[in-house]
């Protein structure tokens, strides 16, 4: 039997092994990500070229060019072929090289006079060893591809084609279907088939998509709707599950009023009528919606609902769409809250290229009740995943503010559920006396009713307006507020302040503001490591934001818990940059992730961010830039969302006429959705 020392040694060994495997995973995923990114960057060039050629064919169908097949009726092209064979510079790659070689040998069998142009040391060695002549070989290109090397290959092939040395050019390459599966392909590069560039009518293209099953056509609310298949499946699924929850009435709780009275006394409060109604409905309904603006008591109601569920012996889980929203929910409710993705056990399926969840209908959540905050941010796909993970009879509470900006992803789920009129909904409207003293709260409600905020109020201590119409002076004022004025006079440190703006572009956009704020708040100094990436300089101590979902990033908590996935909008701080500049250690709340240099394209500065990126977050102090920008962003929802991000202090810097214009403009981008209709009218899924 092992003694204590041996057990400790084994534990340390396991920890070391875990660190090593995490590092290996990071290296492998980084290389794969780099390859994917390189491929993605080539696609816009191809599509731009194809679009331009299509434009030419729309206006002139009789284009005569050696780069296209002759018009129909002429004899097919015959003669010598050229074949570009792409292999690796190294072996030990499984079938990666062998499959390419097989395809090349098959072409040589059918066309023995084919001229070979070989990329990679492996291919050069194979053809040399088998005495197969090569027209040209390109070494060390596969391992380190560059645009210049690709251009050199193209020039050689095009020169031969233009001289008439060969009639067709083929390329044989390996296509990575996913991280585990690859296959070799032989594709003709030149000449082009004219039909490939001919533009089909919209009707024919739609018919083709319908035939392939890529889209679904359906009459929705007397309108001919056209869905992507995944969106149609998600919408009909959400409708079906919601109907089932509405039909499944839970057993009534005996003595509910008495229990709620006890909860009131235990929390030392007295619920307002609508708050009490929300708690009472939670005991009666399997599905409940709770809405309200700032200061209306949503949090108090949620705490009451959680307490009621726990008194009923129910296992309760709290969640929110973003990490910041989940953290805030947990702090306010005194109970751990998670992101919806983490709750559902999100992972990335390499074979399908899709997000998957471990919690689903086959393996549901072990919970009797789930409460979701900031539900307006939940898109159709995520709502489907959440509903699929609820076991029969599980209660669901959806909390949010429908007047905030909608979800980034497809759908208008929260609003559709409310407007369907089918789901028990409590809308908190009354502002509590304590909250009413806040000009942040009062102005938020003014804006929500279409009234301009009160920008000039000498008695305010949490809301200020600084008129700045000159862009240079505006940026200077924002920097001054964050660097000295607010930390010194209001006691809010710079790292607890967040600058928000509607736009990324212009002098009042995030790009310009981030450059100015970084220079003021985190300037360079000896010993502080930094890494240049394009026009950005990432520096130790910088506040940064993830700009896209990356399911491969490995992170670790202080307690040793590890996982993967950093998501669009997550904000962190650069803790350490390796002296080589190749590794960056970034702390996202309680998670520490290591980024390699090729991942920097996923990061942006976060001293200033757009209002859309700030959804679901709350900050001690907010500096909002209210300056003219694109008309689509000068809307009430943007202003309202910006105001409601501030917890203790809001300073608006800018043009009062622009701010008032935003408050008056209630234009909203139309969301095409059939969920409300399906729930209200009972439309049958097809």
Give every CB contact of residue 331 below 8 A, 6+ residues apart in sequence. Answer: none
Distance, in Å, from the CA atom of 235 to the CA atom of 379, rounded to the nearest integer, reads 10
Q: Which one, of 140, 137, 98, lies nearest residue 115 by Cα?
A: 137
Return the pLDDT at 238: 94
Q: What is the pLDDT of residue 467?
A: 92
Rounded to an integer, what distance in angstroms lies between the CA atom of residue 552 and that of residue 31? 11
User: Contact 612/405 with Cβ under 8 angstroms?
Assistant: yes
- pTM to 2 decimal places: 0.68
Q: Among candidates 340, 424, 435, 431, which has minimal Cα distance to 390?
A: 340
Chain CA centroid to CA 492, Å: 30
Return the H-helix or E-strand segment holding 572.
strand 571-577
Half-sphere exposure of residue 675: CA atoms within 13 angstroms, side-chain side: 31
DSSP one-letter string for 108-165:
HHH-TTPEEEEESHHHHHHHHHTT---SEEE-SSSSS--HHHHHHHHHHHHHHHHHTS
Q: At what angle do helices 273-284 and 256-267 cross, to 10 degrees?
A: 130
Residues 685 and 428 sit within 8 Å (Cβ to Cβ): no
Task: Give the number of other Cβ atoms within 10 Å of residue 451's Cβ.
Answer: 13
pLDDT of residue 104: 92
Distance in angstroms (rounded) separating the CA atoms of residues 358 and 326? 20
**DSSP category for residue 670:** -
Q: What is the pLDDT of residue 686?
A: 39
Block residue for tokens 């889980």: 317
Question: CA-CA distance, 346 to 184, in Å (whole number)?
Answer: 32
Token output for 594: 């290591």
> Which backbone phi and psi does 625 adopt, to 5 degrees?
-90, 105
The whole-angstrom separation of Cα 244 and Cα 103 is 54
Residues of the chain with pLDDT under 50: 73, 683-686
- For the chain, the maximum distance between any two Cα atoms, rounded to a whole number of angstroms, is 93
- CB contact at 8 A, 606 and 544: yes
Q: How many CB atoms lie within 10 A of CB 503?
A: 21
d(CA 267, CA 570): 33
Residue 544's SS3 state is strand
Class of residue 538 by CB neighbours under 10 A (exposed 0-12, middle 13-18, buried 19+): buried
Per-residue pLDDT at 141: 65
Q: Which two tokens stand for residue 664?
A: 């008056």
Query: Please, are residues 371 and 336 in contact by the beta-carbon 8 Å criterion?
Result: no
């Amino acid at each position: 039997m092992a003694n204590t020392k041996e057990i400790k040694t084994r534990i340390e060994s396991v920890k070391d092994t875990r660190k090593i495997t995490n590092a290996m995973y990071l290296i492998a995923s980084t290389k794969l990500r780099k390859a994917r990114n390189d491929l993605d960057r080539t696609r816009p060039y191809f599509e731009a070229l194809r679009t331009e050629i299509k434009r030419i064919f729309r206006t002139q169908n009789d284009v005569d060019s050696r780069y296209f097949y002759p018009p129909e009726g002429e004899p097919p092209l015959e003669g010598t072929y050229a074949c570009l064979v792409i292999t690796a510079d190294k072996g030990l790659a499984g079938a990666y090289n062998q499959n390419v070689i097989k395809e090349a040998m098959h072409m040589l069998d059918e066309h023995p006079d084919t001229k070979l142009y070989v990329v990679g040391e492996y291919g050069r060695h194979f053809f040399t060893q088998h005495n197969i002549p090569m027209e040209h070989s390109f070494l060390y290109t596969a391992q380190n591809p560059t645009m210049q090397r690709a251009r050199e290959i193209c020039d050689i092939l095009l020169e031969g084609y233009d001289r008439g040395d060969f009639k067709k050019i083929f390329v044989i390459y390996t296509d990575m279907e996913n991280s585990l599966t690859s296959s070799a392909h032989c594709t003709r590069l030149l000449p082009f088939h004219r039909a490939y560039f001919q533009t089909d009518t919209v009707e024919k293209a739609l018919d083709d998509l319908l035939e392939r099953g890529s889209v679904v056509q359906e009459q929705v609310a007397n309108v001919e709707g056209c869905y992507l298949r995944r969106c149609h499946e998600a919408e009909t699924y959400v409708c079906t599950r919601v109907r089932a929850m509405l039909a499944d009435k839970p057993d009534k709780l005996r003595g509910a009023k008495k229990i709620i009275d006890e909860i009131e006394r235990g929390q030392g409060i007295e619920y307002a009528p609508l708050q009490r109604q929300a708690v009472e409905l939670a005991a009666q309904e399997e599905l409940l919606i709770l809405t309200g603006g700032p200061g209306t008591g949503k949090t108090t109601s949620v705490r009451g609902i959680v307490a009621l569920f726990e008194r009923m012996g129910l296992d309760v889980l709290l969640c929110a769409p973003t990490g910041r929203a989940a953290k805030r929910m947990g702090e306010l409710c005194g109970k751990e809250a998670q992101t919806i993705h983490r709750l559902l056990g999100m992972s990335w399926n390499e074979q399908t290229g899709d997000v998957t969840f471990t919690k689903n209908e086959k393996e549901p959540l072990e919970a009797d009740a789930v409460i979701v905050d900031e539900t307006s941010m939940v898109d159709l796909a995520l709502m489907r995943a959440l509903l699929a993970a609820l076991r029969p009879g599980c209660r669901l509470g959806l909390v949010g503010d429908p007047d905030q900006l909608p979800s980034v992803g497809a759908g208008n789920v929260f609003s559709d559920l409310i407007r369907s009129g089918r789901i028990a909904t409590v809308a908190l409207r009354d502002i509590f006396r304590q909250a009413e003293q806040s000009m942040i709260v009062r102005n938020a409600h003014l804006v929500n009713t279409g009234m301009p905020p009160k920008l000039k109020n000498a008695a305010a201590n949490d809301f200020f307006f600084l008129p700045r119409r000159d862009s240079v002076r505006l940026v200077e004022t924002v920097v001054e507020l964050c660097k000295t004025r607010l930390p010194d006079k209001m006691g809010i440190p710079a790292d607890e302040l967040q600058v928000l703006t509607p736009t990324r572009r212009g002098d009042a956009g995030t790009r310009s503001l981030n450059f100015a704020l970084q220079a003021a708040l985190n300037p360079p100094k000896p010993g502080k490591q930094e890494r240049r990436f394009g026009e950005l300089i990432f520096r130790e101590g910088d506040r940064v934001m993830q700009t896209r979902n990356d399911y491969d990033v490995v992170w670790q908590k202080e307690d040793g818990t590890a996982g993967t996935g950093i998501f669009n909008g997550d904000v962190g701080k650069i803790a350490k940059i390796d002296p080589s500049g190749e590794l960056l250690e970034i702390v996202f709340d309680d998670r520490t992730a290591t980024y390699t240099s090729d991942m920097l394209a996923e990061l942006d500065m976060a001293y200033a961010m757009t209002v859309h990126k700030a959804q679901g977050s709350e900050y001690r102090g907010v500096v909002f830039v209210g300056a003219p920008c694109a008309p689509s962003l000068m809307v009430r929802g943007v202003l309202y969302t910006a105001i409601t991000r501030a917890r203790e202090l809001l300073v608006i810097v800018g043009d009062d006429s622009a701010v008032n214009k935003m408050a008056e403009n209630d234009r909203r981008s139309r969301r095409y959705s059939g969920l409300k209709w399906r729930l209200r009218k009972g439309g049958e899924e097809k």
